[in-house]
A and B are shown apart, each in its own frame.
Chain A
């Protein structure tokens, strides 16, 4: 089954930009993923679906500051003009037909 690898933490300054990475395991480079945001003490929130082609579809109400892109096995979530409310855990998710869904370990983003 696919494995999703994420860095455990990232940090960036208020008003700057940051890019988070989710890497698909060998043999699963073409998979579509989703990005989810989980603010402290809250339920996860769907941000976007991101295909291997780099095309993405955002969820309702997701600010324009959030965008996605892809390169090979890597799937990226970029956040511009960082706000304090962007401080959260970010998870990527994919699926393996007829077996299971898979989540990455999550990246904890700190806004300085």
Chain B
């Protein structure tokens, strides 16, 4: 059974940094692209970033480009999101979400994690 478990969320001041993790199990991690998707309080879903199965290709939404960095450790079956220069508008629940193929942006999400809350506030 596919399982995705996010961690690392919390309260951070504007301008601060945070690193999220997503531990995966139940599938061959390196064979699939993974995404980060966020949801601000009371709002809809917003795609944030994607990484290919090998980690060689990464993609970002314009809203986070230059501030966030996605990476993965296939030996540890873990996905990361390094978030720098955080703003109040980055406050959201962050989900990791699996794609059905190794290459990114070539299919729709087929599994979701439970999410981790990031709050940016002074």
User: Residues of A with Cβ closer than 8 Å to B?
Assistant: 32-34, 36, 38, 43-46, 49, 59, 89, 91, 93-106
User: Residues of B with Cβ closer than 8 Å to A?
Assistant: 35, 37, 44-47, 50, 59, 61, 95, 97, 105-115
* Bound: A89/B43 CA distance, A: 11
Q: Could you tell me if A103 and B47 are in contact, using CB atoms closer than 8 angstroms?
A: yes
* Bound: A91/B112 CA distance, A: 13
Instruction: List B contacts of A33 (CB < 8 A).
Output: 108
- Which residue of A49, A97, A98 contacts B108 across the interface (Cβ within 8 Å)? A49
Interface residues of A, dominant DSSP: strand
Instruction: List A contacts of B114 (CB < 8 A).
Output: 43
Q: Could you tell me if B112 and A100 are in contact, using CB atoms closer than 8 angstroms?
A: no
Instruction: Write the nearest CB–CB distance from B114 to chain A, whole angstroms.
Output: 5
The residue of chain B having its C-beta at the shortest distance from the C-beta of A42 within the complex is B114
* Bound: A106/B110 CA distance, A: 18
The residue of chain B having its C-beta at the shortest distance from the C-beta of A96 within the complex is B105
Q: What are 15 of the A-B contact pairs (CB < 8 Å)?
A: A32-B107, A33-B108, A43-B112, A59-B110, A93-B45, A95-B107, A97-B105, A98-B105, A101-B37, A101-B47, A101-B50, A101-B109, A103-B44, A103-B45, A106-B45
* Given A44-B45, A91-B44, A105-B44, A99 contacting B105 (CB threshold 8 A): yes
- Which residue of A38, A91, A95, A103 contacts B105 across the interface (Cβ within 8 Å)? A95
Q: Could you tell me if A45 and B112 are in contact, using CB atoms closer than 8 angstroms?
A: yes
Q: Could you tell me if B59 and A99 are in contact, using CB atoms closer than 8 angstroms?
A: yes
Q: Could you tell me if B47 and A102 are in contact, using CB atoms closer than 8 angstroms?
A: yes
Most buried by B among A33, A45, A100, A102: A100
* Bound: A100/B111 CA distance, A: 18
Q: Could you tell me if A103 and B46 are in contact, using CB atoms closer than 8 angstroms?
A: yes
Q: Could you tell me if A95 and B45 are in contact, using CB atoms closer than 8 angstroms?
A: no
* Bound: A105/B46 CA distance, A: 9
